[in-house]
Structure 1
């Protein structure tokens, strides 16, 4: 049909209220565990984020859960994944775990947890677009976003999908069937 423009699904995605206007959707993927969808993840950026520059860019990661999960378990799994990237002292780990437990409530299908990451400053977490917790710790923010974007990610297929340019793929949405179900 002449004049009809069909946009990829991710180009039509509505920007969540917590994501600044300056950010656009770069990519999205799905986390599956033994075939069960755990969450959809979306990466919002101001300019293309890649394997070399992700930790130096303001970005937002939005996770939309497909099932109920304990906030405490999300926090514990997040700490395990952060430790894949760097040594974390036990004192710091306990402090960060307490921060994450305060930031992450129990979730059910359809709930969203978003993090707005500012390099050198920290991260602001939102639950269903409502501010939940700000963590003013640049190292924490880098390691937390690195769960999905760092080379040490336990989900390299998901990482690759998130770091692709939208034009790099004929599919708007990537799907990853990983062995873990982290939050």
Structure 2
């Protein structure tokens, strides 16, 4: 195993063992309309037909000892309600700045979902299989996107290519709750994504 591969595994292990709230710095704390101007990021092409008329609600950066890991952006309809995020149409985009293994992202997602709500070990294993398919290894510049139809339908995209799909309202609530639920281990990032006052 090369030194670079060992370093990547060590980073993944560290990211999966530390609370996410230790690594979060807000990038934005207020909703930003999609047509606000040239400084506003464009909505990913794959999201446009799924979420017409959406706006960039907020964004935030996840950091690890000062190093950027990814920037998260939340796209919603204008009528989006933060209190009822689980029944809202939305798109969550993670733009990565570091190399991470997809299996580590999936494992960490299961751990964070347990903070939001309870589920069985059978469900955990089913969802883990799905997320290992949905999340390939990522490198700087890669983008993962999760879309929710507001009724439990979820699709995942990697750099614009669909990687997985399921219909499961419990999964949708718990997965997007990693970032959007009050139980999130990253409250600063949650506030930034939802455009809530600090």
RCO higher in structure (CA 8 A, sep ≥6) = 1
Match of 1:155 among 186, 194, 197: 186
1:51 is the counterpart of 2:82: yes
1:18 is paired with a residue whose SS is helix
Q: Shift of residue 159 of structure 1? A: 0.4
Listed as ranges, the gaps of 5+ residues in structure 2 are 1-35
Q: What are the superposed Cα offsets for residues 19-69 of structure 1, whole Å, 9 maximum, x if unpaired? A: 123222111110011111110000001125443122221000000000000
2: CA distance between counterparts of 1:24 and 1:164?
12
Match of 2:128 among 87, 90, 97: 97
2:136 is paired with a residue whose SS is coil
Aligned Cα root-mean-square deviation (Å): 1.8
2: CA distance between counterparts of 1:124 and 1:54?
16
| Structure 1 ranges of 4+ moved more than 6 A | none
Aligned to 1:110: 141
Give the TM-score normalised by the residue count of structure 1: 0.82
Q: Is the 8 A contact 1:31 1:40 kept in 2?
A: yes
Within 5 Å, give how 1:74-153 maps onto structure 2. Answer: 74-153=105-184
Give the TM-score normalised by the residue count of structure 2: 0.76
More helix by share: 2
Listed as ranges, the gaps of 5+ residues in structure 1 are 1-5, 170-183
Q: Shift of residue 131 of structure 1? A: 1.1
